[in-house]
Amino acid sequence: MNRSKRPPLRIRHRFLLAAVLAAAALAAAAAGPGPQLNDAGYFSTRGLDVLAFNNTYDGNFSDSKIAGVELIHHGVRTATNGDVRLSPTPEQWDPVATLVERQVDPASGTVTTRMRFDTEGFEYVVRVAPRGDGVAIQVVLDQPLPKALAGKAGFNLEFLPSAYFGKAWLADGGSGQLPLYPSGPSGRDRDGATVRLPMATGHSLTLAPEDPQRRIAIHSPAAELRLYDGRNQAQNGWYVVHSLLPAGKRGTVLEWTLQGSTVPGWTRPTVIGHSQVGYHPAQRKVAVLERDRNAPAPGRARLLRVDAGGGAREAFAAEPQRWGPYLRYDYYTFDFSDVREPGLYLIEAEGQRTTAFRIAADAYATAWHPTLDVFFPVQMDHVSVNEAYRVWHGRSHMDDARQVAPNTEHFDLYGQGPDLDSPFQPGEHIPGLAIGGWFDAGDYDLRTQTHYSTVMSLVDTWELARPLRDETSVDQDKGHVEIHRPDGVPDLLQQIEHGTLMLIAQHRVFGHAIPGIVEPDLGQYTHLGDAVTKTDGKVDDHSDPDSPRDDRLAFTTATTALNYGSAAGLAAASRALRGYDDALAQESLATAQKVWEFEHAREPNLFRVGNTTGGDPQDEELRAAVQLLLATGEAKYAQRIAELWPAIDARFAANAPWAVRALPHMDADFAAKLRTRAQAFRAERDEALRENPYGVPITRGGWAGNGAVVGHATANYWLHRAYPDLFDIEPTLQGLNYLYGTHPDSNLSFVSAVGARSKQVAYGMNRADFSFIAGGVVPGVLILKPDFPENKEDWPFLWGENEYVINLGASYLFLVHAAQDLLDAAAP
């Protein structure tokens, strides 16, 4: 449609408002005992909540399965993405609309949301209101559907497969079962392209009629309901109920009535949050009870000591103390810190018994082993990785890499600036990059910003504890790794080496750090399986038009932030590698010094794209200055640290650890300012931590907050080292307690294979198998607006909750050693 011929916005809104108000009056009259609009801005009744665009699409990653109309059914989020889409089974990167406005009307009890597909120039409204024992969902158009979208645009509501595996459906007299594994149906259109076909159609559809906790009925008198299995399109797809929008109409063009069954008097079972790993005798020990607000106050809680014969005797008992409301639940604490006798224990409360955990001086002694023994080897790129009878992956990406073209924007937050900053031409092979590095996350790119952070954390662990554990053979010459086969070299040093090789390769080839190396297209990016099969292993022939062009792309912009960050990682690595690989150590330090001089002699390159071009340039410079100061002792780095005080002051939580580590080399004026700022920070931090009962910062973004938890705990470690009179050890230990199970939503350990109950379904390279990688750390509890904490253990594909990343694994490795260091120092 020609936008110049559209009615003015105020007229279109006036037309729409009249239609909405008329419908609102009818809906209000029909409202019954079902979900009603509450003060938090969503529809709620006991056992069922309906969210209406409380959450919108993630601007970075498009469809994150946390948007539109969503259902929380008996405490589980079972449906999402209730919105207009342009396909019945959309994939992650398919178009999504952007939010124009959302209005909550308490008088009529309705939520009205205006959305827009910018490229198509198409606006629409989704209106949700109470109706009987359910809600009415309407799509309202102020102009007819654009012709280009006829037969494409429809309203979708996606249902979580793991909540409905094996359950039945009924549709207009027909019936069937929702499959455990996708099995079609699919077909072909006139052009021979694959199309997805519905499993069921009708004007009334019921999912899980046999299960009162999952039964959902949808009625659509005018538009046909179609039930699809979105997993036929992509493994991370959901079951989708879809109705096409009619062409040539405006006003209320689509209406569904949705009803969810509820169990009378239902209350969510209490979660007893505790450490699945256990506790040191000297530390504070507090379990957190997360309770339904409709539940009565909890009775007495008991700590039971378990003996060899299976008996359990009471070691301690107390009434849990009410902490108060947080998010949608009520919280109580059970403090058993006075119990110090080593042994095996469990907590009994609310008719439950937890798994057994230890109280022991060596409670954390082996908690880091899976991360170093398994997770890091599995993530290693440019090598083959074997574990006994299992091949994790072949020698991958030995055809790295091709030069990307200027001004290229990539879908995974990479971007190339207007200048290549490279001696290679677009599409040309770049030799020297097929070495070192780890798969960044559950995907296979090599992100430089993550790598230098990871290397620095690994070096921190080496310098703090010098762990000599050797469980892995690494042969860089042959490009092969064997898990559980010692080779006489500390594994931590070999991992530091592997990350350093990736960082130094960039400086050898380009003379500077680069954003990273990533797949050229979505087909490769979404690859699930052995990384060696992503490319053919042969360097693309730039002169041959039939060459497959499957080699990964190198993004090569020379940003100042990345250069400083890489220099920091190399300077740190140089210290750890001395005595193991002296040549690499010397080259790393010389390169870091060269970068420092280069950046101080040029105008900064501040090009930024996504999260791949470095952090704040001053913060990155601070890290480089500290690492170079620790490596060389040269006064010029201390002088620059002093000059960077405004950055330290402004972002103290992030920069305090670096300032503290430089402290022995700084003058009295710097030391006085740092202590004063630390005192102020303690008050700021303590105030922020009062928000929740867990004693850690819980973030509210689209990526869950375990990184912030570990960062907070680690910063406290360094501050305690500098100012033990201001900062005690408990915030550091509480960070581990949180990771190990003292957190909202569940009491699983967020470190796979660590603790009695841990994450066994996560977003790693093997996520399609609903499996895990031992030692990987997931992002954790995601807070869906306004008040729903979630971490799904039965659905791996929510990356914001379940995706492993290497830098979190490395910082966790350090945190365990830091905690043990504090406890050893506190022991009598």
According to the model, what pLDDT value does residue 6 have? Answer: 37
Q: Which strands sit side by side in the sheet containing 286-291, from one edge to the other?
A: 271-273, 286-291, 329-335, 321-326
pTM of the model: 0.94
CB-neighbour burial class of residue 6 (10 A; exposed 0-12, middle 13-18, buried 19+) = middle
According to the model, what pLDDT value does residue 59 have? Answer: 65
Q: What is the pLDDT of residues 523-573, one digit of tens each?
A: 899 999 899 999 999 998 877 787 788 999 999 999 999 999 999 999 999
Closest C-alpha among 261, 262, 493 to residue 376: 493
Closest C-alpha among 286, 301, 282, 275 to residue 358: 275
According to the model, what pLDDT value does residue 765 have? Answer: 95
Q: Residues, the chain, total?
A: 828
Structure-block tokens of residue 561:
């932030």
pLDDT of residue 108 exceeding 90: yes
Beta bridge partner(s), residue 289: 272, 332
570 φ, ψ (degrees, to nearest 5): -70, -40
According to the model, what pLDDT value does residue 22 have? Answer: 40
pLDDT of residue 13 exceeding 50: no
Helix/strand/coil for 438: strand
HSE-up (13 A, CA, CB side) for residue 498:
29
Closest C-alpha among 256, 243, 244, 232 to residue 89: 232
Structure-block tokens of residue 55:
């959450």
Q: What is the pLDDT of residues 373-398, one digit of tens each?
A: 999 999 999 999 999 999 999 999 99
Going along the chain from its start, the domains and CATH numbers come out as 3-260 (2.70.98), 271-359 (2.60.40.10), 368-612 (1.50.10.10), 616-673 (no CATH)
Q: What is the pLDDT of residues 613-628, one digit of tens each?
A: 999 999 999 999 999 9
HSE-up (13 A, CA, CB side) for residue 160:
22
Which secondary structure element, helix H or strand E, spans residue 141, and what is its range?
Answer: strand 134-141
Q: What is the pLDDT of residues 417-472, one digit of tens each?
A: 999 999 999 999 999 999 999 999 999 999 999 999 999 999 999 999 999 999 99
Q: What is the pLDDT of residues 187-244, one digit of tens each?
A: 999 899 999 999 999 999 999 999 999 999 999 999 999 999 999 999 999 999 999 9
Terminal C-alpha separation, the chain:
78
| C-alpha to C-alpha distance for 453 and 442, rounded to whole angstroms | 17
Residue type, 280: H
